[in-house]
Chains A and B, each alone.
Chain A
């Protein structure tokens, strides 16, 4: 049995998630023993024109060219994984969806903005069917490996739909709210092993909201700690402006 052919692609993004893969170190070597990487712009110049067993896409779709590219990748791939906040829920690129496209164009390109057509930011999953996702900005490498292994084994992988707080308690961190610091942990999906919190930072909600967050309750919590919920909840937009969230 030949090793599965895996290709890495990037759209609108900072390529930070590819960097996480490149930085896997020893695990990368182990990984390369089990897959054949046929395209990976950050690491190699080779291209491939056959069928991919697994395409791993970073970045969001922000113009027609990217939309076509994503569709082409889907046609040529048995399985597709969207990884990183940009690919999974639009990520930081989604911020532009809050202002009219023409205004965005003028801010960035001035009067010649029409030469650089752009459209509202979309996640990869908004354009094509995606088999696996790895949320986060950047991806949490151990989770990426877990999802990749599921893909290689052909098994479903379900991203947790419970709060980051769960993992934060596992790690016995002192609660940010106890320190009077706002935190998106209670309404953000776990799976990152509370990576930021373990390192003294707060949660920014980069992995996206829970499917059913208690936003009213979260507002009350912020008020209790003398924090302004309107300002804080806006910060969710940093990563999630392109994604809709329901509040029940």
Chain B
């Protein structure tokens, strides 16, 4: 599909055009250094130059609290699946977060399909935004090679000085561009500039660690019994920040919430976390991971080993949120690096 260019001064006009047809979510400022995706009411709220938001855009695909069905037991057991989603656009999604959504797609579109996820996924359009420099010291998109997009978006925007370059990837993306008249076709000069910019990026987004992507599988092959996990656990408060902010963590619990008449109610899915002590408790009171070290280890294995076995894919997007949000300074890059170094130690 033919790519287009948009003069920066026309960007707000494009956002307004989007807002006329869709609910638009975009990164907005939450604090000095923190941002959050939120539905905007004015293009001026959009902060394209954001570091990764507190929660990734997964909250629109898999909300913190999501009603799955409504039930009524007044006569028999009546249940009605419940999906409430309006067509929406998420604007300004970094390539790491697009990679995160691609991971979730693997999980929820795999059989048996999760129809609630699918219904949301089908209503959400993604407009990515290219990082031209590293956001901060926590990110590891150089290691995970997620700094440049590899699909999974409808439109991807790149800052080219006085223009934005719009790479159009889907018909839905083309449809969004057609909502606004200010676009110009991207000429060969612009295409060349984009190529140059992407090749220059490789120098800026270098591997942030002394571990290469290729050796991660072997590190996690023998790293299960490493002492690194005990050291990590000493610091860990089990607050669950790392998993809640992770773009690829998707574990959830399901609760029934009755109304006061107790006959009617809703079944609600709520995010859960392997870091919570009660997460792995089963009937009878047995806990599969009662120790903090087992829980911190599990999180890393759920990023670097188990999904590789299941989907042939790392479930870390290098966004750095887990390290950025960790008040105890448990750093993902350092942990992998320490794990590598702990080879042979007990």
A: residues with CB less than 8 A from B are: 30-31, 33-34, 145-146, 149, 152-153, 160-163, 165-166, 169-170, 172-175, 177-179, 185-187, 210-214, 216-218, 220-221, 224-225
Contact = CB atoms under 8 A, between A and B. Distances in A.
A178 B239 contact: no
A162 B273 contact: yes
A115 B292 CA distance: 51
Given A146-B257, A174-B30, A186-B239, A212 B262 contact: no
Provide the main secondary structure of the chain A interface. Answer: helix
Interface in B152-203: none
Contacts of A166: 239-240, 244, 273, 276
Interface in B50-80: 53-55, 64-65
Contact of B245 (A152, A169, A218): A169
B239 A185 contact: yes
Given A162-B277, A174-B31, A220-B328, 8 more contacts: A149-B258, A149-B259, A153-B262, A162-B278, A174-B30, A210-B277, A217-B234, A224-B328
Contacts of A34: 260-261
Q: What are the 7 closest A-B residue pairs judged by CB atoms, nearest first?
A: A165-B239, A162-B276, A174-B31, A169-B244, A170-B64, A163-B239, A186-B237
B33 A218 contact: no
Contact of A218 (B237, B257, B271, B273): B237
Given A165-B241, A166-B276, A175-B327, A220 B235 contact: yes
Contacts of B336: none
Would you call the interface of chain B mostly helix, strand, loop, or mixed? loop
Interface of B: 30-31, 33-34, 36, 53-55, 64-65, 234-241, 244-245, 257-262, 271, 273, 276-278, 292, 325, 327-329
A178 B33 contact: yes
Contact of B327 (A170, A177, A213): A177
Given A152-B262, A153-B258, A211 B277 contact: yes
12 contacts: A30-B260, A34-B261, A152-B260, A152-B262, A153-B262, A162-B278, A163-B238, A165-B239, A172-B54, A174-B30, A186-B327, A210-B238
A199 to B, nearest CB: 15
Contacts of A185: 239
Contacts of B277: 161-162, 210-212
A165 B325 CA distance: 11
B54 A169 contact: yes
A216 B41 CA distance: 45
Contacts of B262: 149, 152-153
Nearest to B276: A162
A214 B292 contact: yes
Nearest to B237: A186
Contact of A179 (B31, B258, B273): B31
A163 B237 contact: yes
Contact of B34 (A178, A187, A213, A218): A178
B111 to A, nearest CB: 29
B307 to A, nearest CB: 22
Contacts of B292: 214
Contacts of A153: 258, 262
A161 B278 contact: yes
A14 to B, nearest CB: 27
A211 B328 CA distance: 19
Contacts of B325: 169, 175
Contact of B260 (A31, A163, A210): A31
A216 B292 CA distance: 13
Instruction: Choose among B53, B238, B244, B329 the residue with the greatest number of A CB atoms under 10 Å from its CB.
Output: B238
Contacts of A161: 276-278
B260 A217 contact: no
A146 B266 CA distance: 13
Nearest to A30: B260
Contacts of A172: 30, 36, 53-55
B237 A174 contact: no
A37 to B, nearest CB: 14
A42 B258 CA distance: 28
A172 B262 CA distance: 32
B260 A221 contact: no
Nearest to B290: A212
Which of A161, A172, A216 has the most chain B CB within a 10 Å cutoff?
A: A172
A246 to B, nearest CB: 13
B257 to A, nearest CB: 7
